[in-house]
Structure 1
Amino acid sequence: MKSRNKVIFLFALLFCGILSAQDSLKMSAKEFISIVKNYHPLALKYQLQNKIAASEITSARGNFDPVLGGKLGEKNIDGIQYYRQRNIELGIPTWYGIDLTASYNYLDGEKLNNSDTKGGLYQFGITVPLAKNLLYDKRRAMLEQAKYALKMTEAEQTVLTNDLLLEAENTYWEWVKNFEIYQLQRSAVLINEQRLELTKKTFNFGERPAIDTIEAASQLQSFRLQERDAFLNFVKSTQDLQLFLWKDNREFYDLTAMIYPSDRINSSEAFSNFEMLIQQVENQNLNNHFSLQYYFQKQNILESERRLKWQSFLPKLDFTYNFFNKENYRADYLPLFDNNFQYGLKLEIPVFQREARANYQIAKLKIEQNTLDTQVKRRELETKILTYKNEVINYHSQIDIAKDNLTNYQRLLQAEEIRYNNGESSLFLINSRENKMIDAQEKFILLNNKFLKSYNKLKWMKENFLK
């Protein structure tokens, strides 16, 4: 019931606005698109998605952040201090998989292990992967994939935003079309109301037969029905337009005043720019289209994953070296393997490599899938561009024909009215000429609207190309 009352309110508002245009608002196509870009929730959502992807890069960089740690502990039983320990450590991961460490450890007590060093001890260490993770590892892969994901997300959100703006602009011109058709039908009603009054007067003077008043009244009723239908279409398109209208506080915009289009269909810049647009699209490199850029960046991510999976075939061979120096002792750095050092060599080799082989095969198959998706998308874009280009050219040529046809019908109606005033024609013939002229005018408006919709499809596709 609430929805029904809202529709009735909108209907009444539009009707009152049309009768009293001085309290109405006007909106151009540029103003409307600007509102959608800046305030529509979906447009804002797409922008937020890009920010999320950018934050993922920051998150991946965190894998290379130095880590500072500390430890403080003591064990005491029956008055015996087993140990007392203070430790501070800094770990620094690097881009090439090498980990650097530095620490200071103080240890004292009566029950220490034989391998423990009493007192203060400085330590500097390095861990180097000699096979697996030397050329590529998970940390580098995550950061690279996050960068590719940002570009992929930006491409995807650009395509989605353009789809939203395309739908919005075509909704605007559909609204303009319905308004112009309503104006056309309203004008026909006014003309036929005057014609009926004039026919009644001439009948009263005995200059016209009674059948002419019936003919004029029938024509008027027909146009009134068409006017009501056109008005209803205008109301519906106004509701469709309202779905794109939002305020800066993300609240839905409710109509409190009547709105009208300030642009006319035939005043659109599309009629003068379409040839230049076609040339620009034809000269653009299709590989720069964001729909394809999405798949290219996805390919980079999958290729990064393949490189990472390849590392699983390599044996894990890590070399670790630590240099020690006791507190208050002079450091003796060289030779490295002479005194105050610790080193280790760790080797792990998977025997059957089944998990590695399966994961690597999956990575390769995903790359092949994405390659096929890219080929399909490329073909789809080529077809759409060709289709929209042909539609624009064809509709523009039809508009020229329809314009000449409309001019002819207007001349035929004028000629018939002259003959009627001279007593050489009938009201029936005038009505017949008028009906054909009104149909021609409506078809002319519809053709202009079809042209604009095809032009917008081509225009917003062109907007998807990199600058």
Structure 2
Amino acid sequence: MKRLTALFLCGLGILVGRVSAQSLASPTDTTVFTAELFFELIRANHPIIKQAGLFGEEAKQVVMQARGAFDPKLASSYDRKEFGNTLYYNHWQNKLLVPLWWAGIDLNASYDQNAGQYINPAERTPSSGLAGIGLSLPIGRTISIDARRSAVRQARLAVNLAEADRLKLVNKTLFDAAKSYWEWFLAYQQRRLLVEGYELADLRFRALRERALIGDAAIIDTTEALITAQDRLVQRQQAELEEQNARLRVSTFLWNERGQPAELPVSAIPQQAPLTTYSADTLQALLNRATQQHPELLKLAAKAQQLTIEEQFRRAMVQPQITVSASLLSQTPTVDVPYDWSDYYSFRPQNHKIGLDVVFPLFLRKERGKLREVQVKNQQVALERQQTNRDITNTVQAAYNQLQALAGQVIVQQQAVQNQQRLLQAEQQKFDIGESSLFLVNSRETKLIDLRIKGEELKTKYQKAIAELYYVAGTSQ
């Protein structure tokens, strides 16, 4: 009986080792779905990434709308009155207005043909019409900037705002995806370890039951082994459920090139979590990048530039508004009547129109109030930029500190797992020669499983910390 028991225990040890080796080995019918491929698919097909790409296109259309203020405008009006066989008046007026960017000048060309018995003498023209060409020049408030140029400059800066919003949305999407991926990694590792633990407990229970049937073990030992197997079965079922839900969260980020939702393949498993080290040089590079290209700082910089342009415009509005206009006039030729080019289409200085418009509010309360409002907003943005810059720097430093701490914890946890493995092996050897109990073996084994799961949790936190470090630095690279 002693020889039979020894042979049985040796066989049990061999079976336990085989189960452990099989559970640790990667299945042959699975495919590793790497994080790099996961992020590439998101960048290429995710609707939110595509939506973020439209921000810039929307901003470009805003610029086009602002530039519409400088589009040439052609206007024509016709008005005629005839009563009792008498032509009271016949007005036909045409004007082409061409706004110029420089100094707010407007070029204009006109053609008027007015006739009639009761027409205003100041509006009467030759029978062939009267042509004019001239310009309108602002003097004072709008010679350096006006509403049209201010709108175009601010719209151009809105493109920078849109780019900052795009980067922010892309970074947030990839950060959420990274967290989901590594949560799936943890759920997969937990399920794998708990399956291994359950198989070992179930194998030990069946072995003890066979020994109890031949009278070599107490029935109560089989009860304890059964309880351990049942407890690990419940943990395994819960881990399988958590892995399924984690796979669903990963699938949320998967879309094909046609914009249709995609599912994570059943055979896909996550990659291993590499323990990549990051030096102080990496931290400094991220800090430099954050202070220059962080989306929040880019947005505030664009807003500050917009407010600076608005302030320049409001300062100009405080000045008197003086507009000078001048046009040269010339008679147009008559059809089928001989003419001399020196008489027609000759814009001579003695034939002209000039005008002067002066507008100046006496109290300037509206203009001064708007100017002060813009100045206050500009100061607020400047202060917000200072605080945001400080917050980003401290957040990046804190994320780096957390990453370094987790790196040390992962190493220590790996050492703890190795030590616990040695304790389990020693306890198993003592149990094989009858100097230990099943309770101690189960305790050592349960502790080893817990330490392994904790090690995978630390690896998951470490990978999340890497993603967070780059996210708070304003980059998803």
- Match of residue 376 from structure 2: 365
Give CA deviations for 1:114-133 in whole Å, capped at 9, x if unaligned: 11223221100111111121
Give the TM-score taking structure 1 as reference length. Answer: 0.88
Give CA deviations for 1:229-272 in whole Å, capped at 9, x if unaligned: 212221222232233233444444467x63533412x2x4xx23
- Match of residue 272 from structure 1: 276
Would you identify which runs of 4 or more consecutive aligned residues in structure 1 move more than 6 Å?
A: 21-25
- Select the residue among 300, 313, 321 that pairs with 1:316: 321
Rounded to whole Å, the distance in 2 between the matches of 1:167 and 1:277 is 23
Rounded to whole Å, the distance in 2 between the matches of 1:163 and 1:263 is 22
- Select the residue among 254, 269, 274 that pairs with 1:261: 269
Give CA deviations for 1:41-66 in whole Å, capped at 9, x if unaligned: 32222222221111101111111111
- Select the residue among 291, 297, 319 that pairs with 2:302: 297
- Select the residue among 110, 126, 137 that pairs with 1:118: 126
Rounded to whole Å, the distance in 1 between the matches of 2:47 and 2:290 is 32
- Select the residue among 79, 88, 108 that pairs with 2:115: 108
**1:404 to 2:438 alignment:** no
- Match of residue 150 from structure 2: 141
**What one-letter code is carried by the residue in structure 2 that aligns with 1:355?**
K
- Select the residue among 383, 394, 409 that pairs with 2:405: 394
Q: Quick check: 1:274–1:455 contact (8 Å CA) kept in 2?
A: no
Rounded to whole Å, the distance in 2 between the matches of 1:75 and 1:379 is 74
- Select the residue among 215, 236, 239 that pairs with 1:230: 239
Give the C-alpha shift of residue 110 in structure 1: 3.2
Rounded to whole Å, the distance in 1 between the matches of 2:290 and 2:297 is 11
SS in 1 for 2:119: coil
Rounded to whole Å, the distance in 2 between the matches of 1:427 and 1:280 is 55
Between 447-456 and 321-330, the greater mean CA deviation after superposition = 321-330
Between 52-61 and 83-92, the greater mean CA deviation after superposition = 83-92
Q: Quick check: 1:91–1:102 contact (8 Å CA) kept in 2?
A: yes
- Select the residue among 439, 453, 461 that pairs with 1:442: 453
Give the C-alpha shift of residue 405 in structure 1: 0.5
Between 82-91 and 409-418, the greater mean CA deviation after superposition = 82-91
Q: Quick check: 1:23–1:258 contact (8 Å CA) kept in 2?
A: no
**What one-letter code is carried by the residue in structure 2 that aligns with 1:165?**
L
Structure 2 unaligned spans of 5+:
1-26, 334-342
Give the C-alpha shift of residue 332 in structure 1: 5.0
Give CA deviations for 1:10-35 in whole Å, capped at 9, x if unaligned: xxxxxxxxxxx898776332232233
Rounded to whole Å, the distance in 2 between the matches of 1:247 and 1:76 is 71
Give CA deviations for 1:401-445 in whole Å, capped at 9, x if unaligned: 000010000111111111211222211111111011011101100
**What one-letter code is carried by the residue in structure 1 that aligns with 2:126?**
K
Taking structure 1 as reference, are residues 463 and 261 closer, same or farther at Cα in structure 2, changes over 3 Å only? farther
Q: Quick check: 1:152–1:294 contact (8 Å CA) kept in 2?
A: yes
Taking structure 1 as reference, are residues 317 and 26 closer, same or farther at Cα in structure 2, changes over 3 Å only? same
Between 164-173 and 242-251, the greater mean CA deviation after superposition = 242-251
- Match of residue 58 from structure 1: 64
Give the C-alpha shift of residue 400 in structure 1: 0.6
Rounded to whole Å, the distance in 1 between the matches of 2:112 and 2:347 is 19
Taking structure 1 as reference, are residues 23 and 108 closer, same or farther at Cα in structure 2, changes over 3 Å only? farther
Taking structure 1 as reference, are residues 285 and 218 closer, same or farther at Cα in structure 2, changes over 3 Å only? closer
Give CA deviations for 1:324-369 in whole Å, capped at 9, x if unaligned: 01113245555x3xx1011111111111111111111111111111
Taking structure 1 as reference, are residues 446 and 458 closer, same or farther at Cα in structure 2, changes over 3 Å only? same
Between 404-413 and 307-316, the greater mean CA deviation after superposition = 307-316
Taking structure 1 as reference, are residues 283 and 57 closer, same or farther at Cα in structure 2, changes over 3 Å only? closer
SS in 2 for 1:241: helix
- Select the residue among 187, 190, 197 that pairs with 1:181: 190
- Match of residue 141 from structure 2: 132
Between 383-392 and 65-74, the greater mean CA deviation after superposition = 65-74
Q: Quick check: 1:25–1:258 contact (8 Å CA) kept in 2?
A: no
When Rg is computed on C-alpha atoms for both structures, the one with the higher figure is 2
Rounded to whole Å, the distance in 2 between the matches of 1:367 and 1:347 is 31
Give CA deviations for 1:166-211 in whole Å, capped at 9, x if unaligned: 0111111101111110111011111111111111222233332223
Between 88-97 and 284-293, the greater mean CA deviation after superposition = 284-293
Give CA deviations for 1:130-160 in whole Å, capped at 9, x if unaligned: 1121111000100000011110121122112
Between 277-286 and 166-175, the greater mean CA deviation after superposition = 277-286
Taking structure 1 as reference, are residues 24 and 447 closer, same or farther at Cα in structure 2, changes over 3 Å only? closer
- Select the residue among 291, 298, 306 that pairs with 2:311: 306
Rounded to whole Å, the distance in 2 between the matches of 1:449 and 1:44 is 29
**1:348 to 2:359 alignment:** yes
- Select the residue among 165, 170, 195 that pairs with 1:161: 170
SS in 2 for 1:320: strand
Aligned residues: 438
Q: Quick check: 1:392–1:451 contact (8 Å CA) kept in 2?
A: yes
Give CA deviations for 1:280-306 in whole Å, capped at 9, x if unaligned: 314536133222011000001111111
Q: Quick check: 2:184–2:270 contact (8 Å CA) kept in 1?
A: no
CA root-mean-square deviation: 2.2
SS in 1 for 2:150: helix
% same residue: 26
- Match of residue 14 from structure 2: none
- Match of residue 338 from structure 2: none
Rounded to whole Å, the distance in 2 between the matches of 1:408 and 1:155 is 50
Q: Quick check: 1:123–1:324 contact (8 Å CA) kept in 2?
A: yes
Give the C-alpha shift of residue 81 in structure 1: 2.2
Map 1:415-454; keep pairs closer than 5 Å.
415-454=426-465
Q: Quick check: 1:27–1:259 contact (8 Å CA) kept in 2?
A: no
**1:378 to 2:382 alignment:** no
SS in 2 for 1:106: strand
- Match of residue 98 from structure 2: 92
Give the TM-score taking structure 2 as reference length. Answer: 0.86
- Match of residue 47 from structure 1: 53
